[in-house]
Amino acid sequence: MEYFSHEPSSVTYRGHNDVLFKRDFGKFYIDNFPDLKVVSYGFIWQKEFSCFDNINWWLFEKTH
């Protein structure tokens, strides 16, 4: 599960810079690893699940 953003950016985490990032990781993986196929994906909405931020998840399958 990853933080989503259309543009890659850094998020300050516990007072530290450049240790936490958000971007469209699903697109990044597909663009850089052509042998991956998306099996499933989803979104965890902070309003519904208050213990999380807004995040995306992906499930990939490696193809040959």
- In this prediction the pTM is 0.74
Per the structure, the complete domain to which residue 50 belongs is given by 2-62
Residues 2-52 have pLDDT tens digits of 888 899 999 999 999 999 999 999 999 999 999 999 999 998 877 677 776
How many domains does the structure of the chain reveal?
Answer: 1
DSSP 2-54: EE--SS-EEEEETTEEEEEEES-HHHHHHHH-TTEEEEEEEEE-TTT-TTS-S
